[in-house]
Amino acid sequence: MSEIIAIIVKGGLVMIPLVLCSVVSLAVTIERLLYWRGISSKQPVERMLAAVERGNLKEALSDGQESPLPAARVLAAGLAHRNPSYSKAMEVAAQGEMPILKRRLVILDTIITLAPLLGLLGTITGMISSFGIMSDTGLGQPHAVTGGVAEALIATATGLLIAILTLIPYNYFTSRAEKEMEDIEYFASRLELALLGQQEAH
């Protein structure tokens, strides 16, 4: 732990926002992992569709309104607004779910862009420090010169590392959001078929 602190101190002032970026990235990643874990099951949606096929629309609507699953809420919107258009109601509800599915991903996207730039800033300040020492003392203090170069390299490496480690969950959560929207479209189509079947039966 002391070695990590020593590296952070050696990296210069730019390490402070880099550390903050890493903490925020980790917090958002954990929050999003817990969110996706909580909505991973599709059994409640299947039970809703089964209830619709049995003709028990009230039960399906109640289950959907109480469910935390995006697909279930979209189907509930369709059931709640069967007249005049359940398909349009589900389309609007699906559009409303997209910001929830992509919530806080803009933070990860910003960190992916910002962290390397902060590392580059650390590189520039470190090199400025090195050249300043060289202009004052010449090459008589090589350790002082290399200290500025080390600061530059530490900041750059840290910025790149944070961006790389943030890019992985960002792409994962983005793909999960797209997959969830595809699932919503699939379940919405199944609900439309079930409702059409109910209309024909009556």
pLDDT for 178-202, tens place per residue? 999 999 999 999 988 888 876 666 5
**How far apart, in Å, are the Cα atoms of 91 and each of 47, 71, 156?**
21, 11, 45
**Structural domain span for residue 87:** 2-201
Contact in structure between 50 and 151 (CB atoms under 8 Å): no
Structural domains of the chain, count: 1
Q: Which two tokens stand for residue 90?
A: 């589900």
What sign does the dihedral 195-199-200-202 (CA atoms) show? positive
Q: What is the pLDDT of residue 202?
A: 57
Residues of the chain by 3-state class (helix, strand, coil), percent to 5: 85, 0, 15
**pTM of the full predicted structure?**
0.83
Please state, rounded to an integer, the average pLDDT across all residues of the chain. Answer: 86
